[in-house]
Every structure is written in C-alpha cells, then in structure tokens.
Amino acid sequence: MTPTKREFWGIIRRKTRQKRQPRFESATVVALTLQGEPIIAFMGTLLPSKKTYPHMQHYTPAVGDRVMLIDGIIIGGWRA
C-alpha cells in the first residue's frame, strides 16, 4: 500500500499528538519483490529486512537506492 502525501502527513500528525517523536531511519534497497515493493537493509546491518516497506507515490524504488524512512514509510530515495 502506497500512502498519499495527505495520508503520510496525517500519520505524522497523529504520532505527534501522541507525544512521540517520529522515528527517522536510513537504509539501502537491496532487492525488489515481483510487485515492485522494496526490500531494504538498514544502515549498520548486514542482512536485509524480512518485510517490505511502503513508499510514497512519487518515489519509484530501484536496487541500490539509499532511502529515508519516517516511522516505517519510505519517503524518498536517491541513487547511490
């Protein structure tokens, strides 16, 4: 499921109201599923995550991209 910008900012607002700061993480796309969902390895780890992560509509993941996540949602990436 790919959240829209409005849905993403709604998630951030709800987290902020809960008095919890959003969690920022960076990772590298190591593979793509057949559906095009990225499989990532977080910085500082050697093994890829066992789950896939949703990404914003404007971003098309590619293997080797560095990505930024906020609360488990890929908000964008750049080619390494």
Q: What is the pLDDT along the chain (80 residues), one digit of tens a residue?
A: 677 888 888 877 777 776 667 789 999 999 999 988 999 999 999 899 998 889 988 889 999 999 999 988 999 888 87
| Helical segments of 1-79, H only | 5-17
* Amino acid 7: pLDDT: 85
Total domains in the chain come to: 1
Phi, psi angles (nearest 5°) of residue 38: -75, 140
The model's pLDDT over 34-50, given as tens digits with 9 standing for 90+, comes to 988 999 999 999 899 99
Containing domain of residue 33, as a range? 5-79
Q: Report the distance separating Cα 21 and Cα 32, nearest Å.
A: 29
Q: Report the distance separating Cα 41 and Cα 80, nearest Å.
A: 14
Query: Is residue 27 a contact partner of residue 67, using CB atoms and an 8 Å limit?
Result: yes
3-state secondary structure of 18: coil
Assign residue 53 the CATH number of its domain: 2.40.50.140
Average model confidence (pLDDT) for the chain?
87
